[in-house]
Structure 1
């Protein structure tokens, strides 16, 4: 095998990605070679481009997410491929989805700010669940009395929702188009979850989906979002300022 030729290197990278349990970065791929044969980052990217092209018209795709590259089943096939697993698809409550959406678009944001926007108290279990799933983390404390914790999304959040960075989040117009109706003064119970529909499934794990799917779940819910986005930034573009720099895998 000529490891200096991207055409020969591409199937080897495919084998690496099929065998791994998660995304592999360019740096990690390079570490899998002996130093004397190690391809350059540019050569690895050329080989990945060839691999990506070879996936066209097939049931899986090469996808770059925050932690690197992975091979995964195309999302349109997930309703059928998901039948391979007997367990029920992951279910999320409306309250959890609203909270996660606000953190994603308004990060860093405090629990009090989330409650002010939504008009209801945030259930402590929601924050705990999001942290346990490694979708959010504390990135600092607001310099106000009480120094409340500020939450932001994590690299694992980006990986799970098939995002390379926060710039790939759907535009805020998707949220603004949702019907907004008043909620009662009490939080909707978390015991009434909403089931996610399409998931993008990797050959070794099936927990990837798109953030647009999550927003569609919110859009389909009877009462819609209880929020006012009139105070959001005019450019309607999220930033990467608070993307965690660690590369630790879940």
Structure 2
């Protein structure tokens, strides 16, 4: 990137100094409503072979370490609390069906969903409350967040793997085996969701240094 213009340099400095990913509109507002789209393209191409990359996730832009160099920056790795099976299922349902109500989640899973399970996902920053559904009772809906996309390396929900992709990767069992594995007798689910109730307030969504 030889002789970059002032807007490109300004966008670069803004993103470098920002503690959070920024949308083009936020960058533009910070720089006096300038059109920053071309500058973002220029910077992304400039950094695509360097030690850091400019990436877009969920329509937000930020710098991150090049994937092949991330191991050089790791000094410590904190133990991340794993999601229970119940929380994993609820997160998947929200991602694939959002906006979705708690009742709809329970209908898909076939079991009652603990409030603690949703609290865990919101504490992790991957799920947020959406608008109320305009039906009797006006139940809340739930949506995934931009942090969900960032954490799982997705540009948008269109990048979520399809059923065929999951099956090809060995992540789906045949239907009969899957139903047996789930073992929805209520006991296992109750135990898992009781655990979610206990960890909802202190779920630690850690991130690997340098990523």
TM-score norm. by structure 1 comes to: 0.60
Q: Counterparts in 2 of 1:88-167, with a 5 A limit?
A: 88-134=79-125, 135-141=127-133, 143-144=135-136, 146-167=137-158
State the distance in 2 between where 1:60 and 1:93 align: 34
Q: CA RMSD in A?
A: 3.3
Match of 2:192 in 1: 189
What's the secondary structure of 2:61's corresponding residue?
strand
Match of 2:162 in 1: 171
| Structure 2 contact 129–140 (Cα < 8 Å) conserved | no
Q: Structure 2: any 5+ residue segments left out of the alignment? A: 200-205
Match of 1:72 in 2: 64
- Bigger fraction of residues in helix: 2
Q: Structure 1: any 5+ residue segments left out of the alignment? A: 194-198, 207-250
| Structure 2 contact 77–208 (Cα < 8 Å) conserved | no
Which digits, 9 at most, give the CA deviation of each residue in 1:8-64, with x for residues without a partner?
Answer: 54344323222211112223223333x5xx6x31xx222222211122222321111
- Tell me the matched-pair count: 187
Match of 1:13 in 2: 11
